[in-house]
Amino acid sequence: MSQIRNFMTESAHAIGCDQNLKFAHDRMQQFGIHQLPVLQGGVLVGVLSERDIALIRAVSPGQLETIMVEEAMAAEAYAVAPGDDLAQVVAHMLEHKYASAVVMDHNKVVGFFTSIDALRLLSEMLQQGGRATDAKNAPERNSTRAAKK
């Protein structure tokens, strides 16, 4: 079993839900990250991304200092433990269309596993001779496409 700890991006950065978006944006810029876990009293309550901030900036220019993180965050945060199985985490992210999983160790944020991490892993596997199967003919993909038509 491959554990998520071996493929996550380590980060101990988080933000309180009562902080303003300008502060959150500044933290993201300072640490070169694109999303922050949102905590309330030390408990994970959501995730804030650069996209969330960009949307608010587009709708309410100049308001980042007055809008709080909890107003812009995605309240559904997917949390996993460092020892969780990589395949199960990726399958869950795919099923629920999550862009990331917050990696928590005893209620402490220790990292993120993002879609970029998954793409990096896929790229490495393919470069090492791994083979991608023809996903176009997979039954579940075809039923999804048919349902969208």
Query: What mean pLDDT comes out for the span 113-138?
Result: 78
Classify residue 149 by its DSSP letter.
Answer: -
What is the rounded average pLDDT for all residues in the chain? 87
**Whole-prediction pTM:** 0.79
Distance CA 93, CA 32 (A): 23
Six token digits for residue 136: 């176009």
**DSSP string of 85-98?**
BHHHHHHHHHHHT-
Let me know: does 38 contact 77? Beta carbons within 8 Å.
yes
| 133: confidence class by pLDDT, cuts 50, 70, 90 | low
| 140: confidence class by pLDDT, cuts 50, 70, 90 | low
> Of 131 and 81, which is predicted with more confidence?
81
Structural domains in the chain, sorted by start:
4-148 (3.10.580.10)
pLDDT at 135 exceeding the cut of 90:
no
Strands 43-49 and 100-105: unpaired
**DSSP string of 43-105?**
EEEEEEEHHHHHHHHHHSTT-TTTSBHHHHSBS---EE-TTSBHHHHHHHHHHHT-SEEEEEE
Residue 67 CB contacts under 8 Å (≥ 6 apart), including other chains: 20, 21, 56, 60
| 42: confidence class by pLDDT, cuts 50, 70, 90 | confident
Residue 62 CB contacts under 8 Å (≥ 6 apart), including other chains: none
Query: What mean pLDDT comes out for the span 18-47?
Result: 94
Residue 76 has a pLDDT of: 86
